[in-house]
Amino acid sequence: MYPAEFDYVAPTTLDEVLAVLAERGDEAKVLAGGQSLIPMMKLRFAFPEALVDVNRVPGLDSLEESDGHLRVGALVRHNDVVTSEVVRRANHTMAAAAPWIADPIVRNLGTVGGSVAHADPLGDWASVMLACGADVVARSTTGERVIPMADFISGPFTTALEPTELLTELRVPKYAGGGGGAYLKMERKVGDYATVGVATHLDLDGGGTVTAAGVALTSVAPHNIKAVEAEQALVGQTPSDALFAEAADLAAGAAEPRDDVRGTAEYKREIVRVFTRRGLAKALELAHAS
Amino acid sequence: MQVTVTVNGVERNGDVEPRMLLVHFLRTTLDLTGTHVGCDTSNCGACTVLLDGKPVKSCTMFAVQANRRSITTVEGLKQDGQLDPIQQGFKEMHGLQCGFCTPAMMLVSKALLDRDSDPEEDDIRWALSGNLCRCTGYVNIVKAVQWAANEMQRATP
Amino acid sequence: MTTTEGNAPSATTPEIGGVGHSVRRKEDDRFVQGGGQYLEDITLPGMLHLALLRSPLPHARVVKIDASAAEQLPGVVAVVTGEALAAHDLAWMPTLSGDTQAVLATDKVRFQGQEVAGVVAESPYIAWDALELIDVEYDPLPPVVDPKRALEADAPLIRDDKEGQTDNSCYQWEAGDKAATDQAFAEADTVVSLDTHYPRSHPAPLETCGCVADLNPVTGQATIYMTSQAPHAIRTLFAMVAGLPEENIRVVSPDIGGGFGNKVPIYPGYVVATAASLLIGRPVKWIESRSENLISTGFARDYHMHADLALRRDGTMLGLRVNMVSDNGAFYADAQPSKFRAGLFHVVTGSYDYPAAHVVTQGAYTNKAPGGVAYRCSFRITEASYLIERLVQNAAYELGIDPAVLRMKNFIRPEQFPYHTPTGFVYDSGDYGAALQKALDHVAYAGIAQEKEEARKEGKLVGVGIASFTEAVGAGPSKDYDIAGLKMFDSAELRVHPTGKAILKLGTKSQGQGHETTYAQIVANELGIPASDIAVREGDTDDTPYGLGTYASRSTPTSGAAAVVIARKLREKARTIAAHLLEASEEDLDWEPGRFVVKGAPDRGVTIQDVALAAYTNFPDGTEPGLEGVHYYDPPNLTYPFGSYVVVVEVDEETGVWSVRRMIAVDDCGVRINPMIVEGQICGGLAEGFAMSAMQYITFDEDGNCIGSNFMDYLIPTAWETPRFELDETVTPSPHHPIGAKGVGESATVGSPAAYVNAVIDALAPFGIRNIDMPVTPARVWEAMREAKAGT
């Protein structure tokens, strides 16, 4: 209930943040929304020596389209995505996922970037970013790196970010043609983590063929994963119920769920199947509508 | 560390450890005990206050993060000796029993009505889905918010 | 409807606000302004903070405790261990069920989360820092997690601290008549059985438990602020346990943020805080975290039940057999009447008329938190009601009779009251058929089959579930009811001031039930003093008459009755004074609420306020001055609220997810003092019933780790998941209660879980599924369907 002691700095420029991380990165944690970090500190599962509060750095909260991407700054709050007209037009998977993150109060402070950097295997945003083929942009005193989302997460709470780096934005590619997506989340109640979450993403060309497909899964593997075989089965094909059923089977096969209080492995696998099918159908519906 | 926070319109100062949670700063340093602690995993919402008008869980923030920002607690709802419509609504519609979740429920409701003056029942329940109540079954909390919405519309010319 | 002459309350105006008015609550003013004074809000000069170290293991010997590093931490004033308490004979304390419980572990720890040591420090932050510095060496022992396993001969012995205890048996108790029941079963055409586990749950009031213990070293006065639903009983027990003179102990229960039975027992934290305050000479505050509350304090339920119902082919019920094993955790700490080791579980015969029942119960110790009686269980009536209502539905399926028809056929009929049940209850009044019919009409029951058909076409499964419960509240008559020897009467003390206002003090203690309003309404009804002019006090043992507190829906039946009786006594004295003022004889006066008037001369009268003043300024010779009195009410019987709930659900066949389409609740709690408050209580209970049926439970893995010890794992539904409710009522007054009221606080929690579960089972009936234990999660629904489909 009471966190351990720590040093606290609240820089007002990005350079200052990076300088602190360069010096103390190994023992410091970045504080953005804090809605995952602070609860861990209160239970003393996390006890960093220093917190670097980045909330006062201007320019990290932009949510805008540029260069064919949707740019999601590190300090974009979950609720900013919920209310964003830009997102509503530009990415249906994100728009579908945002209202289901945590609860309405947490969504006022928690950040998309923070969630991705935290890499909780029960977290939703990483699956969304995997399905949409996003890139992570990381900055340090030595420069900037762009890391494809597919290469970003390597294990539970384990990412490619160095302790000296700050995730400054996510870049989500825009639909090339007619696009759609969905995020279906089985949760026991608002605020619970996903029992199963499935992110879907479809990009269609003028003839209705799938040019890009994303299917990513939450809570059914050691970390968020892409259902690669399911995606490959969709690309270059014309959507149909049979195609989506096949992709759903492949997605269920890609899952590695475990028995726990939320359900048995078989149950979760079946939900992957059902949600993939339903999520692809929804993505198609939105792609046609756009 | 020194912190300066505007609480219910008044600038308040304190000298706190960085690790002091905002809820403890409010309750212990500032003696504003209307904000309550109900859990230790940021799930119950009893500690909700408004940070620059938006609901946040004050148990999941450090007081130092609130430096130079503005907080509204339940003690700040009453203005010029008059109860806020949301407070009146909770009284009128029996929206509370033990009262422990009530400050948080009222603040979240007020933030909802500030951005949506005529919410549907589903909108109200959705907005309150980060706040737990054990006594009421939520039924009269919804009615209290609806009462306040009607009252505010009636009062607005 | 049955009414006893003389107990139907007379009508008052809304200005007076007597019984029947939905008076807005007086206590709300301070709560909506953040001015409630809850335990954690209390600060005393020089106050220190206590934090408790708890065992991570469910069963282990305590080899060594090294607190030296903790004691050195700046800001730490003392570290208390079991050894230190043992020197003052405080390492163990009695429980409310006649067992003993460890305050701080000495020999062993017996459940995960058990209290092992206490740190007293200048701030809670420092206290929790110090907890990490205490080094405890444990020698793990095999944990016992299954109560049936616990009762096996070769199970590890948990309570080796108890002399003569050779097994894990906690109690054995039975009720009813075995021979008569055997006879009934011999004559039956059909026997329908059910095996079900009512899982462990926890009241989890939003405010956790705590106390501020202030033992003044100069005056010897002990003031203990405590989140307690029963402050007087606690004071007496503290006197006996701690050896403090009872006249020097004052227990004060401030505003309580929900109780639901969780705040009845005495917890180790209270004792350690008190001992610490005594030893250190400064006030000590202890307030537990949510995790501590869930892992160690009074849980609820955890009954493993088997029942057989004997019936004739035509659906006539003949007899009931029940075998139950209860999981009581490491210490038998149930807060329930001492004569009934399984609480009022033997009310399990329910709302039905049949002559024979036999109930055999067995309690087991396990390596889990102690308790079981809590969470609006009405002393285990939640378990009983769930069992019979689930069993009746299964019987209906077995016999091919509609579940509503089967219930109607077997209900106790209105003319059979007072009704003697086969296990010893005397139900006071009821009209079960009327309540069920009302609920069926609301849901348009005849059309449900059609609704199911239409849903099937859309790939949805629809089900309807009924629960017709009978509650037993208001413990209780001194003949049968005591807790730790203290008889379960309750009290009301009333004083009318010279200016005509009044103050009413009671031995109960509200935790949100609205007593400051409802008790005032009771007196307003008898004396015609406006409820808004009547102050109500509870909770301070120096300031209120003795009583057993508020739980098990007992306040209205006991202190409510006491308030009526004392108000009527004062009204009789008021009549004497009024006669004196009007220079008339007492028989020549009529009473209308608030006024005595001379018969036939309506303009010759005096108000109750006139009389009040006269009680101090102008009273007749020979009359004792003042207008005040106290009454201790020993109820002649329990009261028996009842109702019928009907739930319609739809189930997604692909995912097992279910949702409530409609929830209709018809309640009968006799006369309703404040209809608005009654409905509030019912809604709260219906939500809790939904919670338990859908998601809320505590479980343990095979290593004895508690799963459900924080709000991430112990799932309380939000406003989004919680269904909407439709309420209605019937009114069947209690013939023995002075105003015919029965109590209602727990009815909905008692009755509703079976209704929700029956509805889901009904939706799955096409698959032949007869049982899914709570919580009926989507995963469990899906598994049941899969198993059923595989079996065909």
Residues B53 and B108 reside in one and the same domain: no
Which CATH number belongs to the domain containing residue C110 in this structure?
3.90.1170.50
Q: Which residue in C has a C-alpha nearest to residue B90's C-alpha? A: C32
Is C38 an interface residue toward B (CB < 8 Å)?
yes
- The structure tokens listed for C746 are 């727990």
Share of chain C above pLDDT 90, in %: 96
Closest approach of C720 to chain A, Cα-based (Å): 7
C172 is a domain residue: no
Distance of CA A75 to the CA centre of its chain: 14
The single-letter DSSP state of residue C572 is H
Show which of B76, B94, B128 is a domain's final residue: B76
Residues C81 and C213 reside in one and the same domain: yes
* Pick among B2, B42, B50, B59 to test the A interface (most A CBs inside 10 A): B42
Per-residue pLDDT tens for C67-115? 999 999 999 999 999 999 999 999 999 998 999 999 999 999 999 999 9
Q: At what angle do helices C432-443 and C403-410 cross, to 10 degrees?
A: 160
Show which of B76, B105, B138 is a domain's final residue: B76
Residues C81 and C222 reside in one and the same domain: yes
Residues C513 and C625 reside in one and the same domain: yes
Residues B103 and B132 reside in one and the same domain: yes
Return the number of other C-beta atoms located less than 10 Å from residue C731's C-beta. Answer: 16
Cα–Cα distance for residue pair B137/C317, rounded to 1 Å: 35
| Domain that residue C65 falls in | 39-141+208-256+263-296
Per-residue pLDDT tens for C524-582? 999 999 999 999 999 999 999 999 999 999 999 999 999 999 999 999 999 999 999 99
Residues B64 and B17 reside in one and the same domain: yes
C181 is a domain residue: no
Residues C562 and C603 reside in one and the same domain: yes
Is C718 an interface residue toward A (CB < 8 Å)?
yes
Chain C residue numbers with beta carbons less than 8 Å from the beta carbon of B102 are 31-32
Write the DSSP assignment of C620-656 as a string of letters: PTTPPSS-EEEEEE--SS-B--EEEEEEEEEEETTT-
Residues C500 and C617 reside in one and the same domain: yes
Of the candidates C707, C716, C720, the beta carbon closest to that of A261 is on: C707
- Counting beta carbons within 10 angstroms of the beta carbon of residue C702, is it exposed (0 to 12), middle (13 to 18) or buried (19 or more)? exposed
pLDDT of residue C459: 85
Neighbours of chain A (3+ CB pairs under 8 A): B, C
Per-residue pLDDT tens for C693-702? 999 999 999 9
Closest approach of C358 to chain B, Cα-based (Å): 36
pLDDT of residue C2: 32
Residues C648 and C669 reside in one and the same domain: yes
Residues B69 and B113 reside in one and the same domain: no
C371 is a domain residue: no
Residues C614 and C670 reside in one and the same domain: no
Q: Which residue in C has a C-alpha nearest to residue B144's C-alpha? A: C32
C781 is a domain residue: yes
On whether the CB atoms of residues C387 and C447 are closer than 8 A, the answer is no
C743 is a domain residue: yes
Q: CB B64 to CB A42 under 8 A?
A: no
Residues B121 and B150 reside in one and the same domain: yes
- The structure tokens listed for A85 are 């007209």
Residues C400 and C509 reside in one and the same domain: no
Q: How many domains does chain B have?
A: 2
Per-residue pLDDT tens for C121-144? 999 999 999 999 999 999 999 999
* Pick among C49, C288, C291, C655 to test the A interface (most A CBs inside 10 A): C655
Cα–Cα distance for residue pair A90/A113, rounded to 1 Å: 18
* Pick among B29, B96, B134 to test the C interface (most C CBs inside 10 A): B134
Which CATH number belongs to the domain containing residue B98 in this structure?
1.10.150.120
| Domain that residue B124 falls in | 85-155
Which CATH number belongs to the domain containing residue C769 in this structure?
3.30.365.10
Residues listed for chain B = 157
Residues C759 and C655 reside in one and the same domain: yes
C287 is a domain residue: yes
Report the pLDDT averaged over residues B95-111: 98
Cα–Cα distance for residue pair C542/C526, rounded to 1 Å: 27
Q: Which residue in C has a C-alpha nearest to residue A269's C-alpha? A: C655
- Longest distance between any two alpha carbons in chain A, whole Å: 60
Report the pLDDT averaged over residues C353-380: 95
Which CATH number belongs to the domain containing residue B45 in this structure?
3.10.20.30
C73 is a domain residue: yes
Show which of C605, C633, C661 is a domain's final residue: C633
pLDDT of residue C4: 36
State the catalytic residues of C.
229, 376-377, 746
Report the pLDDT averaged over residues A60-71: 94
Per-residue pLDDT tens for C655-696? 999 999 999 999 999 999 999 999 999 999 999 999 999 999
| Res. C5 pLDDT band, cuts 50 70 90 | very low
Residues B92 and B140 reside in one and the same domain: yes
On whether the CB atoms of residues C243 and C229 are closer than 8 A, the answer is no
On whether the CB atoms of residues C790 and C508 are closer than 8 A, the answer is no
Show which of C633, C659, C678 is a domain's final residue: C633
Cα–Cα distance for residue pair A238/C17, rounded to 1 Å: 72
| Res. C1 pLDDT band, cuts 50 70 90 | very low
Q: How many domains does chain C have?
A: 3
Residues B71 and B102 reside in one and the same domain: no
Q: Which residue in C has a C-alpha nearest to residue A264's C-alpha? A: C779
Site of tokens 């009268």: C605
Residues B63 and B100 reside in one and the same domain: no
Residues C647 and C722 reside in one and the same domain: yes
ipTM score over 0.90, yes or no: yes
Residues C400 and C542 reside in one and the same domain: no
What residues of chain C, 744 to 783, have a C-beta less than 8 Å from chain B? none
Show which of C633, C657, C673 is a domain's final residue: C633
Contacts for C231 with CB less than 8 Å, ≥ 6 apart: C251, C252, C253, C509, C539, C540, C541, C549
| Res. C8 pLDDT band, cuts 50 70 90 | low
Q: CB C205 to CB B131 under 8 A?
A: no
C753 is a domain residue: yes
Q: CB A108 to CB B126 under 8 A?
A: no
> Do β-strands C60-66 and C482-483 pair in parallel, antiparallel, or remain unpaired?
unpaired
Show which of B76, B103, B121 is a domain's final residue: B76
CA pseudo-torsion sign B90, B96, B98, B101 = negative
pLDDT of residue C6: 43
Write the DSSP assignment of C64-80 as a string of letters: EEE-HHHHHSTTEEEEE
Residues C554 and C505 reside in one and the same domain: yes
